Amino acid sequence: MRLSTGTSGGEPVRWQRATQSPLDSISYTDLYRRWEQGSWRATAIDFARDREQWQADFSDFERKAAAWNYALFLWGEDAVTHGLSPYIEAAPLEEQKYFLATQQADEARHAVFFNRFMHEVAGIGDGSVGAGLTEIRPQLSWGFEQVFGRLETICDELRRDPSIPRLAAAVTLYHLVIEATLAQTGQHFITSYLTERDLLPGFREGMENVEGDEQRHIGFGVKLLSDLRQMDPEVPHAVAEMLREVLPWTIAVLVPPGWDERYITAFGSSFEDLVETGLTSLMSKLRSSGMPLDELPGPSVLPVPGRARERAERSKRLLLCGYIGEKTGRPSVAPEDMRLLFETVATGLDSAAAAEPGVIQWEFSDADPWHIAVGEGSVTAQPGRAEDPPLTLRARFEDFVDLVAGRKDARRLLASGRLRARGNLRWVWRSRRMFPPL
């Protein structure tokens, strides 16, 4: 048992850990010391050999595909450099603030490294970071823009409300989603194929240095989340809420331009490989923080059943069907695709919060009907109509999909009459915690 003190918003904070954690053996001072020992210079890396190989050993398409992938890193590193200031202010302990200051310096160094490569090797921009960012902006995926747009808003929220739950939500987005799920996956993908083909020695050296920094950042994020969880019982709820919001966007970050999967397969991996790696990393970090993904409070934060690989495959199908991610056309109404969608919706309901067993019936003007039966501890989805359901919802299937994907607001649909509810609304109100927040 250990008693620690710190400050939050100028007030003393005290918390007590009931049990020992492996994270207790890692101190914030030790993480700072590792930063001092792992220093490297982004401006000292030699790209001479890289320039030769970029032209001689990469095909035209490989150069295009690699530039797209590396562009995401340049934009991301610049964005997180700006985003760390409110984290520093909100951190409860001085040692945490000091480490976060080193992380901000790391992120700036990463941005310098990627900008140098993009200009000196790939020929993008005029050498200034601003010009490089302007040129790569059109290459950012829809999912990427959603995730990093949320980073901007959570930073604003953290400035206004530097509370422990808000800080936990922000750390979840930054350290666990952006760094552990996206960046670490991308780094492993890139260094693997460059090492296998013995290409771009300067870029590979820089990427290995970036990986070392990111591992230290992620370790800090996991430890901080674990400590914040001991300080405030609302932390798991804040973590769940953030993940429920951003995970559909996170999966869409990896969608290549025009869904041309050669942008990934040209280098020996698949879309499913990357999603699986990212999900595995996220689940591991959450377990280490004491908040396993599938044990977070409320409705499932990732309502796609199965192991990481199955979740990756099903998530890709949900994207291709237009059920999540960027809206590019009308969603699929094929029976098997609708089954996947309704099984996902059913998994996203917290049956333990239902006031009593019941059935939710969906009637669509542009697709076949479906219903979900909520029992005691179980939820099942079936096509067709149920007998005497306590709740019937009527809408266009396309509007329903937009609602599930977070592209439309339920209150607006209800107000406009595009979503109509009929039946036992008292049951709905008493069971409201069963549904994901809209």
pLDDT of residue 376: 78
The C-alpha atoms of residue 308 and residue 281 are separated, in whole angstroms, by: 10
Q: Is 157 exposed, middle or buried (0-12, 13-18, 19+ CB in 10 A)?
A: middle
Give start and end residues of each alpha helix (H) in 38-183: 48-56, 60-83, 85-90, 94-120, 129-136, 142-160, 164-171
- What is the chain's pLDDT, residue by residue, as a tens digit (438 residues)? 222 333 344 344 444 444 556 677 789 999 999 999 988 999 999 999 999 999 999 999 999 999 999 999 999 999 999 889 999 999 999 999 999 999 999 999 999 999 999 999 999 999 999 999 999 999 999 999 999 999 999 999 999 999 999 999 999 999 999 999 999 999 999 999 999 999 999 999 999 999 999 999 999 999 999 999 999 999 999 999 999 999 999 999 999 999 999 999 999 999 999 999 999 999 999 999 999 999 999 889 999 989 999 999 999 999 999 999 999 999 999 999 999 999 999 999 988 888 899 999 999 999 999 999 998 778 999 999 999 899 999 999 999 999 999 999 989 999 999 999 999 988 888 988 888 875
* Global model pTM greater than 0.95: no
Helix, strand, coil content of the chain in percent (nearest 5) = 65, 10, 25
Give the chain's radius of gyration (CA, Å).
23
The letter for the amino acid at 307 is R
Domains of the chain: 18-320 (1.10.620.20), 338-434 (3.30.1050.10)
pLDDT of residue 9: 40
pLDDT of residue 27: 92
Cα torsion for 164, 286, 243, 392, to the nearest 10°?
Answer: -120
The answer to whether the beta carbons of residues 134 and 60 sit under 8 Å apart is: no
pLDDT of residue 22: 67
The C-alpha atoms of residue 226 and residue 172 are separated, in whole angstroms, by: 11
pLDDT of residue 436: 82
Q: Which two tokens stand for residue 226?
A: 């674990």
